[in-house]
Structure 1
Amino acid sequence: MAHDFPRRRALLQGAAALATSATLPAFAQGQPRAPRLVTVGGGITEVVYALGAQDQLVGTDTTSLYPAAALATPKVGYMRQLSAEGLLSLRPDAVIAQGDAGPPVVLDQLRSAGVKVDLIDTTHDWTEVRRKVQAVGRAASKARAAQDLLATLDAQWEQTQQRVKAHQGKPRRVLFVLAHSGSPMVAGEATAANALIGFAGARNALSGFKGYRPMTAEAMAAAAPDVILTTTQGIEAVGGEATFWRRPEVQLTPAWQRRDSGRALVHLDALELLGFGPRMPHVVGDLHQRLVVA
């Protein structure tokens, strides 16, 4: 009936307004909105999940592969090839990234747009892990949770280091090989691999240079490693362990002589091994067992 039309219209408008308010984010209803985060660096992304802040994660870089749920997050590209347009399209409040993320001009564009950018220095030590937890705690407004997580991780790290220190014996010579694509490279000083080998109680078979160098026959013979450490992705890329052992450079090493023992070649997932995230105490304990004790 005509005289009921204004009333019906008012009811419909009220219902629509109620439905809309139910779907609005909390900040639009007068409540604080949880900060929207983008993480650049697999270890940093792991911290977000460890703090239970994954619902605030709106984007990650291509190195963020753990936990499995991180694979489904929108990707912003490789950490050193970021795009301001892609990042800003996600409307982040904060970007937490490793210190070598970039290019710098993109980070400046983010800051100019009002996005908080927190770069975590890469120092290859336990302090780096702690800084990642603290940075994510600040950005996610979860400072208390970050303190609790740090207390747990610090205790785990101390226990792991006590296990390593308690072991007696001559440190084994370990060589890290990076062979994801192209020519294999070996790790010298000032690398994540070098740090992990030392934390586990072993000794890097190569010294006298920083960074990575090609895996040549001369380098392998001079290194003379007892054990070769590499990534699972690297082993898969070359076609498996048997194929890896057939490389002529590797056959010049003591590790090759021990290949049938099952203890001369150790490999772990690349992010787990080199990510310097919250799994690090477990990783170092595992490496100590496999590189030193076994």
Structure 2
Amino acid sequence: MSNDRFNADRRKLMAGLGALTLASFARPARSAETTRVGSSAQRVIVVGGAIAEVIYALGKAQTLVATDTTCTFPSQALALPKVGYQRTLSAEGLLSFQPTLILASTEAGPPSALDQASRMGVRIVSFAESHDVASVRNKIQGTARALDAAAAGQTLLERFDSQWTQTVQRIAQAQRKPLRVLFLLNPGGNQPMVAGRHTAADAMLTYAGATNAIQDFAGYRALSPEALAACQPDVVLTTDDTLQASGGKQNLLAGAGFQLTPAGRNGCVVSLDTLFLLGFGPRLPDAVAELHRRLFTS
């Protein structure tokens, strides 16, 4: 496809997006990558904070033209143009940056937005989200391949593996009492939710040597004061944003049910940056080590 033909087709799609609904395009089955057509110069959009961290760690920040709003680290990422929140993307917004490559979490969507970008020749590389070390290694290796940074990728992977081994060994050797932890999240100022099994918070607590106080369900749910009191957490873990939205530790623990728990009576609340705590990026060894330290010294 010639550049003139490619640009003409792109302008036609951009002009017609207002008359189309994103839901009218079915998502084709897609493997990790789809073929890119167009310029060989990389113009990268990243959707997913952990992937952005990998790009910066690889020394490839110069390829970035935009990120989504979850990309908050390092601080340089905050200065880049934004395509919106990762789950509410638009094809028009993505294509306006003339990307050649989009690196995205599988949580990115709606699917039709990425499909339309793919149909216009933008290469899409997607990374499955799972809450384990393997997913971090996959992000490092896959991002390095996509950015032609094999040597830097291998160096980063080896450093990550070494740091992870050291963190696991230190936690395994630590003397500690059993600790029940309740993870609380307040998404967008709505009703607080707690993390059950099969969540990023649940995995982080396990890695840090603690026990998730919620074992009755998977995912996130609101919790009644009675259920909160029944789970008897020793510590409440939350994000910095949630703690701020709650008005601080005292206000958070003033909520119904908290004073009937050891965490509430002893004022044990730990908060960490959202991406650092839940992102499962290359800082995972540091995040687990810091979580362990904060939980068992709170």
Aligned-partner Cα distance in 2 for 1:219–1:140: 48
User: Which residue of the partner structure matches residue 272 of structure 2?
Assistant: 268
1:56 partnered with 2:63 = yes
Which residue identity does 2:129 align to in structure 1? T
1:215 partnered with 2:212 = no
Aligned-partner Cα distance in 1 for 2:295–2:241: 19
User: Which residue of the partner structure matches residue 227 of structure 1?
Assistant: 235
Output aligned runs, 1:74-153, within 5 Å.
74-153=81-160
User: Which residue of the partner structure matches residue 26 of structure 1?
Assistant: none
Of structures 1 and 2, the larger Rg is shown by: 1
- The number of residues matched between the two structures is 259
Which residue identity does 2:111 align to in structure 1? P
Shift of the alpha carbon at 1:80? 0.8
Residue 93 of structure 1 contacts residue 116 of structure 1 at CA under 8 Å; is this kept in 2?
A: yes
Shift of the alpha carbon at 1:247? 1.2
Which residue identity does 1:83 align to in structure 2? S
User: Which residue of the partner structure matches residue 289 of structure 1?
Assistant: 293
User: Which residue of the partner structure matches residue 240 of structure 1?
Assistant: 248
With over 3 angstroms needed to count, the CA separation of the structure-2 counterparts of 1:205 and 1:171, relative to structure 1, is same
Q: Structure 2 length normalisation: TM-score? A: 0.84
Q: Give structure 1 stretches of 5+ with no counterpart.
A: 1-31
Shift of the alpha carbon at 1:36? 1.6
Aligned-partner Cα distance in 2 for 1:52–1:34: 16
> Which of 189, 205, 213 is equivalent to 2:197?
189
Q: Secondary structure at the match of 1:76?
A: coil
Aligned-partner Cα distance in 1 for 2:149–2:179: 42
Shift of the alpha carbon at 1:171? 2.5
Residue 38 of structure 1 contacts residue 94 of structure 1 at CA under 8 Å; is this kept in 2?
A: yes
1:198 partnered with 2:202 = no
Which residue identity does 2:89 align to in structure 1? L
Shift of the alpha carbon at 1:167? 2.1
Q: Secondary structure at the match of 1:247?
A: coil
Aligned-partner Cα distance in 1 for 2:47–2:182: 28
User: Which residue of the partner structure matches residue 53 of structure 2?
Assistant: 46
Shift of the alpha carbon at 1:169? 3.9
Q: Secondary structure at the match of 1:171?
A: coil
Aligned-partner Cα distance in 2 for 1:171–1:116: 48
Q: Give structure 2 stretches of 5+ with no counterpart.
A: 1-38
Q: Structure 1 length normalisation: TM-score? A: 0.85
Percent of matched pairs sharing the same residue: 49
Q: Secondary structure at the match of 1:124?
A: coil
Aligned-partner Cα distance in 2 for 1:203–1:73: 38
Shift of the alpha carbon at 1:34? 4.5
